Structure 1
Amino acid sequence: MSDINLASIGPVSGVKPAADALKPKTAEQGTFSEWLSQSLSEVDHLQQISDNAAQKLISGESKDIHGTMIAMQKSGIALDLVVEIRNKVIAAYEEVKRMQF
């Protein structure tokens, strides 16, 4: 077996050290409330797209039933996710409320 010179192999680019993942978040990364607000805005936007697509299909302005159904499914899934997140937050709040100090 021949000797391999490992010194000539440089570091892998684009890979961050694991220690970077453990650093605390900075203010630049935003807060939970900002993330939540942005996410709710995105869900609202998906709902509006779905409603517009359905209105165009009903009025005959559009014949794209597949696109309409996809938009409706996207908005439905996004809304289901929001409801599940709300349920988890309420369950966590109730659990904290039941704690005795």
Structure 2
Amino acid sequence: MIERAAIQPLKMILPADGGMKTGSSSEVTEKFTAYLQNAMEQINTQQKNVDLLNEKFAIGEADVHQVMIASQKAELGLQLTSQIRNKVIEAYQEIMRTQM
């Protein structure tokens, strides 16, 4: 079975002062980008794990429970990522509508 690390909490990339900006916007952007890339890599790893378990199940080496649990984890991770993407796009669109 492929090992995977847990997705890092969002608080790991936010400033320690409760959200007040302590760095430049490019630093915050880089940290957020790294966070999203890490999350996508982990989702990809989960999907590869599901594929591997499906192959093992087909030859009788894996239990159906393992396959179903891995499939659900991968599906939930993808749904979470899609929702985060949607919220980021909504926030961007709202910012663009805001008059300065």
Q: TM-score, normalised by structure 2?
A: 0.66
Q: Which has the larger radius of gyration?
A: 1
Q: Identity across aligned pairs (percent)?
A: 34
The aligned runs of 1:26-45 (5 Å cut-off) are: 31-45=31-45
- Residue 100 of structure 1 aligns to a residue in which SS? coil
Corresponding residue number in structure 2 for 1:93: 92
- The runs of 4+ residues in structure 1 deviating greater than 6 Å are none
Bigger RCO of structures 1 and 2 (CA < 8 A, at least 6 apart):
2
Counterparts in 2 of 1:42 and 1:81: CA distance versus 1, 3 Å: same
Asked if residue 77 in structure 1 is aligned to residue 72 in structure 2, the reply is no
The Cα of 1:39 is off from its aligned counterpart by 1.2
- Residue 31 of structure 1 aligns to a residue in which SS? helix
Give the counterpart letter for 2:47 in structure 1: Q
Question: Whole-Å Cα distance in 2 between the matches of residues 95 and 47 of structure 1?
Answer: 33
Give the counterpart letter for 1:76 in structure 2: E
Give the counterpart letter for 1:41 in structure 2: E
Give the counterpart letter for 2:75 in structure 1: G
Question: Whole-Å Cα distance in 1 between the matches of residues 60 and 88 of structure 2?
Answer: 41
Corresponding residue number in structure 1 for 2:59: 60
- Residue 80 of structure 2 aligns to a residue in which SS? helix
Question: Whole-Å Cα distance in 1 between the matches of residues 89 and 51 of structure 2?
Answer: 29
Aligned length, in residue pairs: 77
Corresponding residue number in structure 2 for 1:22: 17
Give the counterpart letter for 2:80 in structure 1: L
Question: Whole-Å Cα distance in 2 between the matches of residues 82 and 63 of structure 1?
Answer: 28
